[in-house]
């Protein structure tokens, strides 16, 4: 969400390539905003990547190409990616991942808790809140966007928000649809 996470991934992959370490990068086929043959940041930075549908595709390519470093963009979009990462780590292959940790409702993506627990290093790259300009860790889905959980899009459907502006936006969407308050009767 414009926080620089993909840019950070690309930077690490480029550094490994400069060190002459064999690198292989992956981009989910679903992530077709800028094509699938490269990992691309919103800034225009890019790194060559193989488009994949599943974690099994990642393992097949790694078996074939034998990299020492693997980069995975948009981890949450790749079914079976966690199992692939677990296999790669056991083989002592360095894995660098870029992903959103929460969906646009603030719900953690499946497998992210396990991925974070396995990680040797976690770097969060906050965006800038579209409303108040504070650090933004949430992806706010605009009210007119289609409703499927995994919706590939850019600023046409989403905007980065801080916790307060995210909660206020969610509350406003609930009020507009007549749903109950986000804050009623609970934590």
Segment 58-81, tens digit of pLDDT: 999 999 999 999 999 999 999 999
Cα dihedral: 68, 62, 59, 16 (round 10): 40
> pTM here?
0.80
* Residues 128-177, CATH architecture: 2-Layer Sandwich (3.30)
Sign of CA pseudo-dihedral 67, 72, 76, 77: negative
Length of the chain: 187
CB atoms within 10 A of CB 48: 13
CATH code matching the domain that covers 5-125, chosen among 3.40.50.300, 3.40.50.880, 3.40.190.10, 3.30.465.10: 3.40.50.300
pLDDT of residue 7: 92
Domain boundaries, the chain: 5-125, 128-177
CB atoms within 10 A of CB 185: 6
Is residue 172 pLDDT above 80, yes or no?
yes
Rg from Cα positions in the chain:
18
> Annotated catalytic sites, by residue?
74
Measured distance CA(91)–CA(8) in Å, rounded: 24
Main-chain phi, psi angles of 63, to 5 degrees: -60, -40
Tokens of 122: 């976690």
CB atoms within 10 A of CB 9: 25
Segment 22-66, tens digit of pLDDT: 999 999 998 876 666 788 887 888 999 999 999 999 999 999 999
């Amino acid at each position: 969400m414009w926080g620089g996470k993909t840019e950070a991934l690309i930077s690490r992959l480029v550094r490994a390539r400069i060190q002459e370490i064999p690198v292989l990068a992956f981009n989910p086929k679903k992530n077709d905003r800028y094509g699938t043959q490269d990992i691309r940041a919103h800034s225009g930075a890019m790194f060559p990547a193989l488009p994949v549908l599943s974690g099994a595709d990642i393992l097949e390519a790694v078996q074939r190409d034998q990299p020492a470093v693997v980069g995975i963009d948009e981890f949450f979009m790749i079914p079976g990616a966690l199992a692939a990462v677990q296999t790669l780590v056991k083989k002592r292959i360095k894995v660098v991942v870029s992903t959103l940790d929460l969906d646009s409702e603030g719900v953690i993506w499946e497998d992210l808790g396990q991925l974070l627990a396995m990680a040797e290093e976690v770097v969060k790259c906050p965006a800038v809140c579209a409303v108040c300009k504070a650090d933004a860790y949430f992806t706010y889905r605009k009210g007119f966007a289609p409703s499927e959980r995994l919706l590939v899009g850019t600023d046409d459907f989403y905007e980065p928000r801080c916790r307060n502006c995210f909660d206020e936006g969610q509350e406003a969407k609930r009020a507009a649809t007549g749903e109950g308050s986000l804050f009623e009767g609970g934590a």
